């Protein structure tokens, strides 16, 4: 009799423990990849952790290429890439989902009469083929190239879009967006680049090929100095329940505000 | 009773010893860590290629890790700031200790202490907003972020330590020396420079050591004014120092990559540099005493 009661109690205890498990999720979501997405994915991960107690979110900033490899090898749940997948990567059974778009504004001093440049000219300027503003309709001033430090996501994005990888003749390599904006604001001959969301009125954002950079022109693709933030998953294997919930959450319109405040342009309406 | 007292004494001695060893432990820990994490990249790149390579392109498709531009920039920058900062600081100290009326002395001394308390990021910010555009306009160059801007900022940053340490040294010179010199017919200025300053020689040299140490180790302020492009140093060229080379790329370098290891190697080179400078200056200090 006593034994029976004991086992009933134990069973009851077990049941309460198990139902407890169902309520507080203790899963993990691991992401790996692009350093440019650090701010966006970090903010989303934090929000997700806050809404789901017990869930652990991890992010390993290794770079787009390593992130894609990691997800292909099953070392993480979701890979992060700040470029579209190549065809051979898709052939490996990887799927891309665009999380957001990142517009990069090309900025000059407000005193600079130049308002518009095309992508090719920007590339030539940064590679040192055009060195004076007067050649492109500005004042007779030597162009001062302002950029970001090696490894910065914005630099990587800008150089890959303008086709100037490893070829930029920077005059200054600064370590933050704020420093770039301050420097460009203080030098009438400077040109720089910064994430669209952080551009202030102390500098002038150039239109590229006649298209003014705004959230709309980034979204419809007409402003070309932009790149996608891509979530990479494996088509053959299903995500774990927690990872799937995270995926659904960050691709829903609920996450838009967080994405915008982290400086990117959300794609969901 | 006596035994217990002795035990107590011994215990307290032990505690003090342990506290003293904490510093030694920290130094050892940092040295060992730096050497261990700095050696692999140097070995992979090659000592000569690393130290005397003229091109740094750590994220290029064909990465190159030559730190000669950083080494030369650090040497030129420190030397430049010493050339500007030491005469100003030294003369200020002589003036304060010997000539200045008490009221003026209090005001200047307070200002010097305040200067010492300003965080380096503020120096950098002011340099970026005022000095860099100022240099651009004054010298008619396209951009003011340059070695010159860094030298000026460093010179101002090392002033307080130079003034304070030389001041203490000058004030420690016995009054009798100066009285004797004056009594023999020397003018006050002759006395200060022929008697007081030679007597305070070693203290003033210590001030220079401190200045060199602070200048070569500074990162934040010069990162904001020097431009950070890995060029060979020229006065009006954008340059990168050893310190800023480590600080600017560390946050994005992937763990375990050669880039990150190379940054540790730069830190190791900087560390050895500071050791070398300290050793050389200590050597001269000892000699001048004898």
What is the per-residue pLDDT across B211-225, written as a single tens digit (0 to 9) for each? 888 899 999 899 989
Backbone φ and ψ of A116, nearest 5°: -140, 135
Chain B contact for A80 (CB, 8 A cutoff) = no
Can you tell me the mean pLDDT for A86-102?
A: 88
Percent with pLDDT over 70 in chain A: 90
Q: What distance in Å separates residue A96's CA from the closest CA in chain B?
A: 24
pLDDT digits (tens, 9 = 90+) for B239-279: 999 999 998 888 777 667 788 899 999 999 999 988 888 88
Whether the CB of A166 is below 8 Å from some CB of chain B: the reply is: yes
Task: Categorize the per-residue pLDDT at A166 as very low, low, confident or very high, splitting at 50, 70 and 90.
Answer: confident
Chain A interface test: which of B55, B56, B59 (most A C-beta within 10 Å): B59
Give the pLDDT of residue B148: 95
Q: Does A163 touch chain B (CB under 8 A)?
A: no
* pLDDT above 70: percentage of residues in chain B: 97
* Contact A69/B at CB under 8 A: no
Q: Under an 8 Å CB criterion, which residues of B touch A? A: 57-61, 128-129, 132-133, 136, 142-145, 223-224, 227-229, 238, 240, 247-249, 251-255, 259
Interface contact A172-B58, CB threshold 8 A: no
- The pLDDT value given to residue B180: 93
Nearest to A44 by CA among A63, A61, A31: A31
Centre a 10 Å sphere on the Cβ of residue A101 and count the other Cβ atoms it contains.
21
β-pair partners for A105: A194
* Phi, psi angle pair for B198, to nearest 5°: -60, -35
Every domain range in chain A assigned CATH 3.40.190.10: 26-101+228-266, 102-226
Q: Cα Rg for chain A, rounded, in angstroms? A: 24
pLDDT category, A5, cuts 50, 70, 90? low
Residue A23: the pLDDT is 37
The per-residue pLDDT of chain B, averaged, comes to 90
C-alpha distance from B249 to closest chain A C-alpha (Å)? 7
| Yes or no: domain A26-101+228-266 corresponds to CATH 1.10.287.130 | no
More confident residue, B249 or B288: B249
| Residue length of chain A | 269
Q: What's the gap in Å between the CA of B59 and the closest CA on chain A?
A: 6
Give the Å distances, CA to CA, from A173 to A199, B25, B68, B225, B278.
Answer: 18, 37, 18, 11, 31
CATH topology of domain A102-226: D-Maltodextrin-Binding Protein; domain 2 (3.40.190)
Task: Give the chain B residue nearest A63 (alpha carbons).
Answer: B254
Chain A with chain B: Cβ pairs closer than 8 A: 81
- B249·A150 Cβ contact <8 A: yes
Smallest CA–CA distance, residue A181 to chain B, in Å, is 12
The model's pLDDT over B1-33, given as tens digits with 9 standing for 90+, comes to: 668 888 999 999 999 999 999 999 999 999 999
CA A240/CA A255 separation, integer angstroms:
20
Eight-class DSSP state of A60: E
Interface pTM, i.e. ipTM: 0.75
C-alpha distances (whole Å) from B93 to each of A218, B36, B114 are 60, 43, 16
3-state secondary structure of A175: coil
Partner residue opposite A62 with nearest CB, options B238, B247, B254: B254
Mean pLDDT along residues B220-232: 90
- A22 pLDDT exceeds 60? no
Rounded to 10°, the helix B201-217/B68-94 angle is 140
Angstrom distance (rounded) from CA A118 to CA A129: 15
Token output for A118: 């095309």
Say yes or no: A239 contacts chain B, CB-CB below 8 A.
no
Please answer yes or no on whether A171 and B142 come within 8 Å at the CB atom: yes
Q: pLDDT-derived band of residue B115, with 50, 70 and 90 as boundaries? A: very high
Residue B57 has pLDDT above 90, yes or no: no
Residue A185 sits at the chain B interface (C-beta within 8 Å): no
CB distance A171 to B145 below 8 Å:
yes
**Residue B286 banded pLDDT, cuts 50, 70, 90:** confident
Query: Checking phi first, is residue A116 left (phi over 0); if not, alpha (psi -120 to 50) or beta?
Result: beta
B89: nearest Cα among B2, B211, B250: B211
Question: CB A171 to CB B61 under 8 A?
Answer: no
> Which residues of chain B lie closer than 8 angstroms to A126, CB-CB?
none
Structure confidence at residue B210 (pLDDT)? 83
Contact B228 A190 (CB under 8 A): no
| pLDDT tens figures, A25-62 | 568 899 988 877 888 899 999 999 998 888 899 998 87
Alpha carbon B23 to chain centroid distance? 21
């Amino acid at each position: 009799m006593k034994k029976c009661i004991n086992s009933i109690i134990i069973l009851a205890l077990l049941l309460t423990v198990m139902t407890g498990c169902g309520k507080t999720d203790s899963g993990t979501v691991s992401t790996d990849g692009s350093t440019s997405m650090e701010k966006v994915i970090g903010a989303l991960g934090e929000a997700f952790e806050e809404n789901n107690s017990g869930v652990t979110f991890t992010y390993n900033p290794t770079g787009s290429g390593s992130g894609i490899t990691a997800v292909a090898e099953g070392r993480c749940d979701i890979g992060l890439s700040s470029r579209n997948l190549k065809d051979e990567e898709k052939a490996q059974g990887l799927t891309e989902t665009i999380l957001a778009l990142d517009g990069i504004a090309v900025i000059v001093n407000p005193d600079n009469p130049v308002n518009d440049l095309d992508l090719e000219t920007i590339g030539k300027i940064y590679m040192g083929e055009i060195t004076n503003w007067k050649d492109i309709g500005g004042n007779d001033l030597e162009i001062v190239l302002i950029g970001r430090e090696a490894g910065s996501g914005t630099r990587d994005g800008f150089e890959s879009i303008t086709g100037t990888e490893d070829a930029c003749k920077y005059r200054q390599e600064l370590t933050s967006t704020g420093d770039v904006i301050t420097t460009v604001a203080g030098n009438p001959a400077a040109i720089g680049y910064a994430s669209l969301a952080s551009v202030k009125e102390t500098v002038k954002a150039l239109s590229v090929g006649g298209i003014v950079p705004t959230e709309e022109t980034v979204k419809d693709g007409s402003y070309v100095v932009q790149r996608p933030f891509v979530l990479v998953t494996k088509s053959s294997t299903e995500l774990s329940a927690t990872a799937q919930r995270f995926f659904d959450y960050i691709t829903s319109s609920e996450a838009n505000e967080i994405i915008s405040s982290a400086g990117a342009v959300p794609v969901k309406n | 009773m006596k035994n217990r007292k002795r035990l107590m004494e011994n215990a307290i001695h032990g505690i003090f010893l342990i506290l003293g060893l904490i510093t030694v432990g920290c130094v050892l820990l940092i040295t060992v860590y730096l050497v261990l994490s700095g050696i692999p990249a140097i070995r992979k790149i090659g000592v000569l290629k690393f130290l005397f390579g003229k091109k740094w392109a750590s994220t290029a498709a064909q990465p190159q890790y030559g730190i000669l531009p950083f080494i030369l920039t650090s040497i030129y920058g420190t030397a430049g700031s010493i050339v500007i900062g030491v005469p100003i600081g030294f003369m200020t100290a002589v003036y304060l200790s010997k000539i200045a009326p008490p009221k003026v002395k209090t005001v200047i001394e307070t200002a010097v202490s305040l200067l010492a308390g300003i965080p380096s990021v503020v120096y950098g910010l002011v340099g970026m907003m005022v000095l860099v555009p100022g240099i651009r306009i004054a010298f008619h160059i396209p951009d003011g972020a340059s070695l010159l801007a860094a030298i000026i900022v460093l010179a101002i940053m090392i002033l307080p330590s130079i003034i304070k340490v030389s001041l203490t040294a000058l004030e420690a010179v016995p009054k009798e020396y100066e009285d004797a010199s004056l009594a023999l017919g020397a003018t006050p200025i002759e006395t200060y420079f022929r008697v007081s300053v030679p007597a305070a020689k070693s203290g003033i040299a210590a001030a220079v050591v401190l200045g060199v140490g602070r200048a070569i180790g500074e990162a934040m302020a010069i990162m904001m004014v020097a431009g950070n492009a890995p060029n060979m140093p020229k006065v009006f060229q954008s340059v990168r120092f050893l310190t800023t080379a480590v600080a600017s790329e560390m946050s994005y370098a992937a763990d375990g990559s050669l880039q990150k290891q190379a940054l540790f190697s730069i830190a190791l080179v900087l560390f050895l540099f500071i050791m070398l400078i300290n050793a050389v200056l200590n050597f001269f200090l000892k000699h001048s005493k004898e």
